[in-house]
Amino acid sequence: MPGSELFGAEEQKEVNDVMGTGILFRYNHDHLRNGIWKAREFEAEVKKITHAKYAHAVSSGSTAVACALAAAGIGTGDEVIVPPFTYAASVEAVLFAGAIPVFAEVDETLCLSAEGIKKVLTPKTKGICLVHMCGSMANMDEIMAIVHEHNLVLVEDAGQAFGASYKGTQVGLFGKTGCYSFDFFKIATAGEGGVMVTNDEAAYKLADSYSDHGHDHIGNNRGMEQHPIIGFNYRISELHAAIGKVQTSRVPDIIQRNNKNKKLLTELLSKKEGISFATIADPAGDSATFLNLLLPDTTTAQAIVEEFNKAGVTGFNYWYTNMYHFINQWDHIKELKTAARLPVEILGAPQDYTKLDLPKSQEVIGRLISFGIRCTWTEEEVHTLAKNIAACVEKVVVLIDS
């Protein structure tokens, strides 16, 4: 959790600015707010790092996905390709948009693969909700080729890859719209918050209105504003935005420190039998929030997880059995257990979600153990961790070899 590792006086100062005026609302009250506009400043910081033309801050990464989908024109009945390995919010957002998720395979990039996308394309495919996982990125050259060839709408959920880039372009800016999360577990945190980005002015305006009951945000009299579309309330508060602003400004430094620590940990582990690593489509653009180990097979990975637990090694995720990130544990989604009916239940889906056949994803995620990189690690701590990881891996790999 690098963002939350660096939390201090600057965050407090920014929050105090807001407390000083008492204007916790991001819009209007111009004469009472003493020139303090934290949501706008948060958006400016995000634009500085991503070079997005437009950035719009909202209440969470999840609502940022919802805004990104709506602003890209994805709605009821649209078939949208999604990965089985993501934070569930990406799939939930597609469902709540009224659209129909279609699951495709991920590969060793931990993201949707071009090959996986091609296999599930139909004439009814409207778009892709591409998720950049574990701090790095999908293979964008291959994915953009399919997007262009089939005229698909690309929405990028870069919820956990803020600051990562591919061949010089920030993830989130390849598609029509993109988004980032600033929840407590991300590279920068606002406490709760998200930002939608785009280079398309019309999409930005739609997201801006969608997230605030359709308001056009023209002028400074909220009661007299026009409503170009129907929207809802996905607004961020000034208090959260104040924290998000400072945390975002720390990201270039965090990425540099993460990469240094990840490079050392990778070097120390790279000659160990049995250990390989997930593919980073552009290593120069890695935000380096995770070191993703790929073990020879699922059985070996599970045995190593047991060894880690026995030895007290912490700071890793085994997503294959974790309740949040992989489809194997999403019974509620596969069985469409809803509080009230969603469009997908009436329209039907082209896949039976309880009988999905995703062998490549099962294989890759079964082999994957991800270690969170801390930007505050000392070199000595990295060496100790590497030694502990190697010892556990060795025990299992030797056992299997003999």
Binding site for ligand PLP (CB under 6 A): 60-62, 65, 86-87, 89-90, 131, 157, 159-160, 181, 183, 194
d(CA 294, CA 106): 14
Q: Which is nearer to ligand PLP, 131 or 385 (CB)?
A: 131
Phi, psi dihedrals of residue 239, rounded to the nearest 5°: -65, -45
Output the smallest distance, CB 240 to ligand PLP, in A.
11
Q: Which is nearer to ligand PLP, 7 or 185 (CB)?
A: 185
31: Cα within 13 Å, side-chain hemisphere: 2
H/E stretch holding 170 reads strand 169-170
When computed from its CA atoms, the radius of gyration of the chain, rounded to whole angstroms, is 22
- CA torsion angle for 70, 73, 74, 75 (degrees, to 10)? 80
d(CA 171, CA 180): 9
Separation in Å, CA 111 to CA 37, 114, 188, 208, 268: 36, 10, 21, 28, 26
Output the smallest distance, CB 315 to ligand PLP, in A.
18
d(CA 327, CA 96): 18
Q: Which is nearer to ligand PLP, 138 or 369 (CB)?
A: 138
d(CA 259, CA 204): 32
d(CA 57, CA 324): 24
Output the smallest distance, CB 60 to ligand PLP, in A.
4
Q: Which is nearer to ligand PLP, 160 or 287 (CB)?
A: 160
Tokens standing for 339?
Answer: 């509080």
Output the smallest distance, CB 179 to ligand PLP, in A.
8
Q: Which is nearer to ligand PLP, 86 or 317 (CB)?
A: 86
Output the smallest distance, CB 62 to ligand PLP, in A.
3
Asked whether the CA dihedral 90, 316, 136, 108 is positive or negative, the reply is negative
Q: Which is nearer to ligand PLP, 134 or 393 (CB)?
A: 134
Which one from 38, 126, 176, 186 is the annotated catalytic residue? 186
Output the smallest distance, CB 312 to ligand PLP, in A.
27
Query: Starting from the edge strand earliest in sequence, which strands make up the sheet with 125-131, in order?
Result: 54-58, 194-198, 177-181, 153-157, 125-131, 79-82, 100-103
d(CA 181, CA 39): 15
Output the smallest distance, CB 61 to ligand PLP, in A.
2
Q: What 3-state class would DSSP assign to 66?
A: helix
d(CA 77, CA 95): 10
186 annotated active-site: yes
Q: Which is nearer to ligand PLP, 90 or 362 (CB)?
A: 90
Q: Are 252 and 188 in contact (CB under 8 A)?
A: no
Active site residues: 186
